[in-house]
Structure 1
Amino acid sequence: MHFISVFLTVFSLIYSFALSLSAQPKVEQVMIKQGLVDVQKVDPSILVELKYSTTDNFIGKDVYDDLTRAYMQPMAAQKLAAASKYLQAHHPDLRLLVYDAARPRSAQWKLWNALPNMSENERQKYVADPRKGSIHSYGCAVDLTVATKDGKPLDMGTKYDFFGKLAYPSQEDELLKSGKLTQQQIDNRHILRTAMRQGGFSPIEFEWWHFNALSRAKAKMVFRIVD
C-alpha cells in the first residue's frame, strides 16, 4: 500500500507539472525546457513590462504575441536579483523594471528586418544579426530601467529603443556639457549602471538600457539559442 501511495503522489506531481507547462505559451515552454527561469520567481520585487509584447517599441508592433514574462538563464537571473538587492539597499523606493530579457531568434529576425535602410554596421549597433545570434537569444542579456515602486520609470533622457547618440553611455559627458542631457538624467543612469555592475553585468556603448551577464562568445560556448 505504501508503494502505491508513493506512486500516486509522484504521478500527481508529474501530471500537475505537465498541466501547468501546457497552459503556458509555447515560447515559454521552449525556454523552460532549455533551463531558463522566470526572473520574477527568482526575485518577485523585479518589475516586468516586455516592450516587444506591446506596440510601444521602435517598430510599433507586438513581436512577442503571448509572451509577457521575462526569462533568463539561471546564472543571469541570479545576477539580476543581486543587482535588485543592491538597488533596494541603496534606494529603498526604487525597483528594476525589465523591458526585455530572453528573446527568441524568430523575434530577432523581425527586429533586424525592421531596419532595412541602415547600413550593416549601423544596424548592428542596435540589433544583433540573427545569423550570429543576439545575447538576448541566449538568455544572457537584459534591457531595463529603474522605476518607482509603482512602476513609473525614472527619466533617463531618452525612451527605451532610442537610436542615436543621446542614448550612448559613452557620450554622456559631452551630452551633459552641451545641455542635451541634464545632471538628473545622468544621475539616474548611474543609479542603474551601478546596480547592474554590482550584480555582475556589463553595460554596452550604444544603449543605456542594455546589459550583458557574459560575453556573446561565452554564451555561445555554454548555452543554446532560443528559437
Structure 2
Amino acid sequence: MNTAIPRLPEPDWRQVTALPIADNQEELVPASLAQGRLACYPAYYKLGIPNAVPECYVRREVYLRLQAAARSLPEGLTLLVLDSWRPYSVQQYLYDTLYNVIEHHWPSKSDAELEQLTREFVSVPSTDPRAPSPHLTGGSVDVTLVDDNGLMLDMGTLFDEATPASHTAAFEALDRPSPREQEVIEHRRTLYRAMTRAGFTNLPSEWWHYDFGNQLWAWYGGHGRAHYGHTYPESLENRWRKEVDRRIG
C-alpha cells in the first residue's frame, strides 16, 4: 500500500507571491510530443472554453519530469496531462465563471469571502511579472491516471470539480472507507507518489494540480526563489520578428 498523502496547509498567497522569480527563460514544449506512458488531452479546448489552446505546453524541465513520473507508474497505467500553460483569457474565464457560480449560491457573502472561496480552486488571473498566475508560467500541470484501455481511473471527483472531496487528502480522513473509496485512496496515492518523487509539489485543494519551478512550487518546496515567471508559446510571427530585428540591428 502506498504511503498516506499528508494533509498540507492551503497556500498563503501573500507569502507565495512575495517569493522572487529568477526566470531561466526555459522554453515551452508541447506535451503531445510524448509517446508511451505520458499522454496529452487538452481538456479545456475539448470542452470548448473560449481561447483555450489545442495543446498542453509545459516548460522543458517539467516535460522531462513528467516523463520520469510516468515511467515510475505501475505497469498498465499512463499519466495523462489535462491542462498546463494557459492564456490569460482562459484564466480569467475560469476565475469569473467559478466566482459567479459561488456568488449565485451564496449572495450574502462579501467580496473577500467570494474571492477566498474561488481561489481555493482557481488562482486570481495575473500577468504581473512579480506574481503571475501559476498556470501562466508553464510550471503547473493538471494530471490524472488512465488504465491500459485509455479510461481515466476513479479519483473520487471529476477533474476541476470544486468540492471539498477534491482536496488531495480528503479521502485519507475516512475511518472506514468503502471498497470504492479505498480504490480512490490508492489511485490518488499512486499519482501523488509518482509526481512528488519526480520533484513536483501538489496544491492541497486539487488532487490533479502539481507544480514545478513556479512560486507555488518554491513555497511548498521550501525554495528561496522560483525559476519560472509568466511566459507564452513562441509564435511564428514572433520568431520572424526577432529574426528581422537581428538583421536590422
Q: Return the TM-score normalized by structure 1.
A: 0.73
Aligned to 2:137: 138
Aligned match of 1:126: 121
1:61-119 Cα distance to aligned partner (Å, 9 max, x none): 42345x222110111111111101111xxx12110011101111121011111123430
- Please show how residues 70-85 of structure 1 align to structure 2 within 5 Å: 70-85=56-71
Q: Letter of the aligned partner of 2:94 in structure 1?
A: L
Q: Which of the two has higher C-alpha Rg?
A: 1
Correspondence list, 1:200-215, <5 A: 200-215=199-214
Change (3 A) 1:208 1:180: farther
Higher relative contact order (CA 8 A, sep 6+): 2
CA contact under 8 A between 1:105 and 1:226: conserved in structure 2? no
Q: Which runs of 5+ in 2 are unaligned?
A: 1-24, 103-113, 219-224, 234-249
What is the percent sequence identity of the aligned residues?
26
Q: Are 1:62 and 2:49 matched, yes or no?
A: yes
2:54 aligned counterpart, secondary structure: coil
Structure 1 residue matching 2:133: 3-state secondary structure:
coil
How many residue pairs get aligned? The number is 185
The 3 A distance-change label for structure 1 pair 177 and 165 is: farther
Aligned to 1:21: none
Match of 2:77 in 1: 94
Cα distance in 1 between the residues matched to 2:177 and 2:191: 23
Q: RMSD in angstroms over aligned alpha carbons?
A: 2.5
Partner residue in 2 for 1:108: 91
Equivalent in the alignment of 1:196: 195
Aligned CA distance change for structure 1 residues 175 and 138 (closer, same or farther; 3 Å): same
Q: Which structure carries more helix by proportion? A: 1
Structure 1: runs of 5 or more not aligned: 1-32, 56-60
Give the secondary structure class of the aligned counterpart of 2:169.
helix
Find the aligned partners of 2:97 and 2:145 in 1 and give their Cα distance.
27
Identify the residue that residue 13 of structure 1 maps to in structure 2.
none
Contact 1:53 1:62 in 2 (8 A): yes
Residue equivalent to 2:35: 44
Match of 2:232 in 1: 226
Instruction: Give secondary structure in 2 for the equivalent of 1:53.
Output: helix
Residues 1:116 and 1:151: Cα distance change in structure 2 (over 3 Å): same
CA deviation after TM superposition for structure 1 residue 153, in Å: 0.5
Contact 1:72 1:101 in 2 (8 A): yes
TM-score, length-normalised on structure 2?
0.67
The verdict on how the C-alpha distance between 1:116 and 1:204 changes in structure 2, with shifts beyond 3 A counting, is closer
